[in-house]
Structures are given as structure tokens and as C-alpha cells.
Amino acid sequence: MIYNIDYETMPREGLEAIQLRRLQATLERVYASVPFYKKKFESAGITPADITSLDDLRKVPFTTKQDLRDNYPFGMFAVPMDNVVRIHASSGTTGQPTVVGYTARDVSTWAELMARALSAGGATRGDIIHNAYGYGLFTGGLGVHYGAERLGASVIPVSGGNTKRQIVIMRDFGPTILTATPSYTLHLAEVAEEMGIAFDQLSFKYGIFGAEPWSEKMRDEIERKLGIVAVDIYGLSEVMGPGVAIECHEAKNGLHVFEDHFIPEIIDPATGDVLPAGQEGELVFTSLTKEAFPVIRYRTRDISALRTEPCVCGRTHARMQRVSGRTDDMLIIRGVNVFPSQIESVLMETEEVAPHYQLMVDREGNLDTLTVRVEVDEKLFSDEVRKLQAMEKKLAKNIKEMLGVSARVQLVEPKSIERSQGKAVRVIDNRKL
């Protein structure tokens, strides 16, 4: 059953009417209460009254991560601090963290959207949700938590870490839904195996994974190891947290964006032009209902594409393709553009390598070098050196063929790459030092 089916399956005409009404109200509000936006509008020679259709949104200037940094910590808030009941911050993987605030109504809207998201991912009120997203400034833990309670499910607020204890809880409490980053999920599977507990025999039915890029192959691996259906959930602190978009478990083919609360656009990151449906580019979001921290045409740096054709689940909201990477985590190795997720796809084609890898980028003289460190499974590692060398050669050849970049592949001992309890660290770029 779809939670809040009226909004999820609304005809697009009605949806767009709601979007326009909410957009106009949001623009009026930020213009009146956030000096940054007022200045931006003035520099573009417009006022909120000039926006009379959804297409007019293109007249409004973008907001960037740098703009948020310039207004650190609370300069972008649109309500007095008296009305702010919660503060979160982004993980700051690419620099200074950005700080976001929520009114009581924002927290409630977020809970409602997360209830809708969990429902799309297969959860019902009868489920027990093992929530291994980190609780704290990161939005993952509390975001899922409030959504699970709103849905009426039981939530185990286990957070990240204490991995062995988590496995015992999974065995004893019988949770039916797992929420975690995909990389931490693989770590959980590994520790369960060490403890002699068959992960695929636990009671899980669905897994709702996100907060970092992961490939289709990684999904296959997780579904097989856990014996579940795995869906992709997307979000970012600046726009709300988790629950901006999610795949439905029926199709697992693109993430439905909650368009009654956010307007997504795809732009060419170089020119800023809005791109047509189906074309890949940078995701941009405008929030329609947020009070404390509304964002207008916020450039996420995440790469995706949008499609609006109907889905088998009955939802009418546009779907975004899974995020393949960020404009700022694209590596340029001797002129070739490479995303870590592309390397991941190549590695996962090969059975004997484990889904744990790290990319090391260096500069030798004037030349960039890429080293791919990847773990092999126990069996291969105990084989002779000759076989390992052959495997390194084979992987390097596949990477060269698929991505056009030469890389040195280093097979490393099982369990030697550091495990994350949240987002995995995939790239170590020594060129930036």
C-alpha cells in the first residue's frame, strides 16, 4: 500500500498547480527574510512577482555551496532562531560543513516525506527497521528515525558502529528492514560471516541504502548476500536530508523525487542551461515547503538525469537516475574523466574480487598515475603469486578497455582496506597535497 497515495499518484496537472503556488510563496518569503536572496534577485533584475509560471524559475539565479559557506553558519536561515528547533550539518567531505536548520513544521514535513520514502522502499507499519545510519549532525539517522515512527513501524536506533553488537541485535530482534550506507552494509555482511551468522537467513526483506554512490552491480551483490530487495535513497542536508527521492521497490528503476515538495532540474554544469528530460547533467533543487532553510535553485554538484514517464508503481512523480558521482569527485587522469563508480562497475564484473576498493591518485613528474587497490577473496589470495598477477593484469585491461584510462591494479589482502561506518572513502588524491 502506498503511504499518502493522494500526493504520490496525483495527475501532473494538479501537481504542477501545487508546485507553482508553493514556489511563489517560497520566493516571496526568502525575498522578504533572507538578505542573500534579495540581493541575488536584485542583481538579476527580478522580483518574486515576475515568476508567474514554473518555466519562469529559469530567470532566478542559482545558489551554490560557496554561497552557503559565505553565509556560515546561520546567514541563510529564513526564520528567527526562536523558531528553529533542530540544526544539522553536512558531512563536509568537500570542505567546510554547511549548516542547516529546521522549524517544528520542517521536522514534521521531513518525517512525512521519510514515511512516504520508507513506504516506497517496501516498509509498512508492521515492520521493524534496523537503522544503522549515523545519528548526530548527519541527517541519515534522525531522518530515517522520524519517518519510521511516522509510518508506525518499530525503529531500532542502532546508529553506525559497534558492528558485532549490531549483528547480535539483528539475530535476536528480527528486524525486517535494514537502513544503512551500502558500504557499511557490506561490512555488516562481512562481520556476520566472521561470527558464523548467515546474513541471508536473518529476517530482512528490504534494504534502503544511500548517502553515497553505489553501482547496479553493488546492488546485485548486496541483494544476494542479504537475500533482500535493495532500493536506492537519495538526499542531501541542504535540501532536507534523506527522503528527497527514492526508488520504489516495485520497479527499482530511477528514484521518484517528491515533487510536491521539491522542484528538480538538470543543468549543463558548464553553461547553466536547463537540459531536456533524459539528458545527464547536474541536479538542481528548489524547495517548496521549507520554512527555516529554503533553497532556491541549489546546485548539488550531483550528476543525474530526469524522466517523467509513468512508473509501474503508479507514482506520477518524476524519476531521477541513480547519482553516478559528483562534478567534484570526477577524477581527471591524464585528461580522461573517470568517476569512482565507473571503476567500481568494472571491478564488480570479476567474481574473485571483493567490493572493497580504494583509488590512489598521484603525480609522478608531470604524469598523473592511478592505482586501484582492491581486495581479493580469501581463496584467490591463498593461490600462487602467478594467478594474482594474472588477475591484476586482467583488471587493468578491463579498466583500460571500459574507461580508456591506464591504471595500476594492486590486489590486496582480504580485509586490509579500512571499513567505514558511514560513507566510504573511495579516493585518496595525493595531487592535492
Identity at 363, one-letter amino acid code: R
Start-to-end CA distance of the chain, whole Å, equals 52
Q: By C-alpha distance, which of 352, 351, 350 is closest to 380?
A: 352
Position among 101, 207, 242, 281 found at the interface with ligand DLL (CB under 6 A): 242
Piece of 112-120, 189-197, 233-241, 270-278 that binds ligand DLL (CB under 6 A): 233-241
Piece of 72-80, 133-141, 215-223, 262-270 that binds ligand DLL (CB under 6 A): 133-141
Q: Which is nearer to ligand DLL, 236 or 354 (CB)?
A: 236
Position among 213, 281, 294, 340 found at the interface with ligand DLL (CB under 6 A): 213
Q: Which is nearer to ligand DLL, 289 or 398 (CB)?
A: 289
- The CA-CA-CA angle for residues 428, 430, 433, to 5°, reads 125
Dist CA 304 CA 320 (whole Å): 6
Position among 106, 112, 265, 302 found at the interface with ligand DLL (CB under 6 A): 302
How many residues of this chain bind ligand DLL (CB under 6 A)?
Answer: 22
Kindly state whether residue 233 participates in binding ligand DLL, applying the rule CB under 6 A. yes
Position among 119, 131, 139, 398 found at the interface with ligand DLL (CB under 6 A): 139
The CA–CA distances, whole Å, from 179 to 75, 140, 211, 369 equal: 33, 9, 11, 36
The nearest distance, CB 232 to ligand DLL, in angstroms, is 5
Number of Cβ within a 10 Å radius of residue 63: 23
Where residue 92 falls (left for φ over 0; alpha for ψ -120 to 50; beta otherwise) is left
Dist CA 353 CA 373 (whole Å): 11
The nearest distance, CB 53 to ligand DLL, in angstroms, is 28
Packing angle of the helix pair 12-33, 35-43 (nearest 10 deg): 110
Kindly state whether residue 185 participates in binding ligand DLL, applying the rule CB under 6 A. no
Dist CA 42 CA 30 (whole Å): 13
Dist CA 67 CA 63 (whole Å): 6
The nearest distance, CB 138 to ligand DLL, in angstroms, is 6
Dist CA 211 CA 217 (whole Å): 17
The helix (run of H) or strand (run of E) holding residue 347 is helix 340-348
What's the DSSP call for residue 199? G
Position among 8, 106, 127, 212 found at the interface with ligand DLL (CB under 6 A): 212
Position among 3, 31, 77, 234 found at the interface with ligand DLL (CB under 6 A): 234
- C-alpha cell of 418? 579500512
Position among 235, 254, 264, 355 found at the interface with ligand DLL (CB under 6 A): 235
Kindly state whether residue 300 participates in binding ligand DLL, applying the rule CB under 6 A. yes
Q: By C-alpha distance, which of 275, 276, 298 is closest to 286?
A: 298
- Contact positions with ligand DLL (CB under 6 A) in 311-340: 323, 326
- Contact positions with ligand DLL (CB under 6 A) in 368-397: none
The nearest distance, CB 136 to ligand DLL, in angstroms, is 11
The nearest distance, CB 172 to ligand DLL, in angstroms, is 25
Piece of 29-37, 138-146, 150-158, 187-195 that binds ligand DLL (CB under 6 A): 138-146
Dist CA 283 CA 356 (whole Å): 28
Residues at the site binding ligand DLL, with contacts judged by CB under 6 A: 90-91, 133, 138-140, 210-213, 232-237, 241-242, 300, 302, 323, 326
